[in-house]
Amino acid sequence: MIDPKFIIQNPDAVKEAARKKRISFDVDLFIQLDEKRRTLQTQVDEIRAEKNAANEKISNLQGDKKQQAISKMKEKSDEEKQATEELRQTETEWKNLLLTAPGQISPDVPEGKDDTENVELYKVGELPNFKFEPKSHEELGKDLDIIDIERGVKIAGSRNYFLKGDGALLELAVLNFTLHKLAAKGFTAFIPPLLVNEDAMVGTSYFPGGEEQAYAVGVMRPGEQHLESDEKFLIGTSEVSVTSYHSGEILEEKDLPLLYAGISACFRREAGTYGKDTSGLYRVHQFQKVEQVILCKNDLEESTKMHQMILKNAEEVLQDLHLPYRVVAVCSGDMGQGQYYKNDIESWMPSRKNYGETHSCSTFLDFQSRRLNMRYKDKNGKTQFVHTLNNTCIASPRVLIALLEVHQNQDGTITIPEVLRPYMGGKEKLSKGPS
């Protein structure tokens, strides 16, 4: 969330951010609520101050005088109860509204309505020029018996799949290679909880708003027809767990920036995407991802530097894998509520005859850290909210689409990029037969 004072002091900037991001947020209503909240708070405080003063006297009184004073205070107490109730309601309303306020938006963000208006910044790598009719990853996966979508659907429903044999090994190779690369760059690797509580979802700003994209976990009681909620949620990205790692803590400036790399399975309901990307591994309910998470000091210059750094890390991985890609500036309408600036990396996917999103790099400023109450003591001893950033470093199986399709050969084999071979037992090619 943003600083409530910022909304009061810069209503126009907030209105502008909401307009650009196509988020509905009633600034005027918020200001009204804030005034109401403060007035009520003052009232309650005054009543309490009166009571506190009187109570101090009561403890020294005796007999009748004491009884008189006590009965008088009874009335005050009722008065306080009423005022407190009203304050509580207003505060809840205020808080709920505040959670929906848009974060600040960088002046560098292109304005646009959705992902069709993202702006390409640059391209890297040469597109493959096949001398034969290239196959899609689905065909390749089937022919090589390394991807089994049919059986995935049979046992888990649509958008599910098995990776099998070399397919399974290849995914682990890609993840392993990436995680080791980040570790070598000073990142701390994390295997985080996949199930988190609601606070982590709200803290990273997936809730409120993203509830229907997350799987809620429940328990089935014997004899019951329905799940009973256990109030845990499956993460859609390790960003949720890893960014929340230091929630509620006060860090030291000398320890910043913290460079974290989470590796985890990710779960997404993909509600509202019926009919979109229905075939293959592009849009699935479960995938694995190595995610970079940065906590740095509250300084725009610093977080801009970090943004560039984690963007480059992801680009390096794609270059190592010899995959052509492009980097786009995500437009305002395609940005999340809390994101200040965002780049996507899109990898070339021959079967789509287009680039497809494989990475997403976001700077949040203090939007998440305010929700997570995650701060640090700066040089002057003042507590500040950290800045948070995150970027995909690799996400599979989506990246396998590019990997299999780009590196396929006429004979139906796949050339494994050199950097992955150590993680594949030295194998240079994927071909038919047992792995």
**Site residues for RNA per CB under 7 A:** 38, 41-42, 44-46, 48-49, 51-56, 58-59, 70, 73-74, 76-77, 88, 380, 382-383
Task: Report the DSSP pairing between strands 188-190 and 258-267.
Answer: parallel
Residue 421 a catalytic site member: no
Partners of 342 in beta bridges: 362
Nearer to RNA, 76 or 283 (CB): 76
Nearest distance from C-beta of residue 75 to RNA, angstroms: 9
With vertex at residue 309, the alpha carbon angle to CA 304 and CA 307, rounded to the nearest 5 degrees, is 30
Name the one residue in this structure whose structure tokens are 């970090």. 306
Residue 19 a catalytic site member: no
Nearer to RNA, 373 or 431 (CB): 373
Name the one residue in this structure whose structure tokens are 């890390």. 313
Of 193, 188, 180, which Cα lies nearest the Cα of 293?
188
Nearer to RNA, 51 or 326 (CB): 51
Residue 268 a catalytic site member: yes
Edge-first strand listing for the sheet containing 250-252? 250-252, 375-377, 383-385
From 159, 370, 371, 398, the catalytic residue: 398
Nearest distance from C-beta of residue 358 to RNA, angstroms: 32
Nearer to RNA, 32 or 42 (CB): 42
Residue 418 a catalytic site member: no
Nearer to RNA, 265 or 271 (CB): 265
> What tokens appear for 273 in the block?
């995407």
- Separation CA 66–CA 269 (nearest Å): 64
Element (H, E) at 16: helix 11-21
From 268, 370, 371, 375, the catalytic residue: 268
Nearer to RNA, 384 or 408 (CB): 384
Residue 352 a catalytic site member: no
Q: What is the DSSP string of 356-422?
A: EEEEEEEE-TTHHHHHHT-EEE-TTS-EEEPEEEEEEEEEETHHHHHHHHHTB-TTS-EEPPGGGGG
- Kindly give the interhelix angle for 166-184 and 300-320, rounded to the nearest 10 degrees: 140
In a 3-state reduction of DSSP, which class is residue 355? strand
Report, as residue numbers or ranges, the catalytic residues. Answer: 268, 283, 357, 360, 398
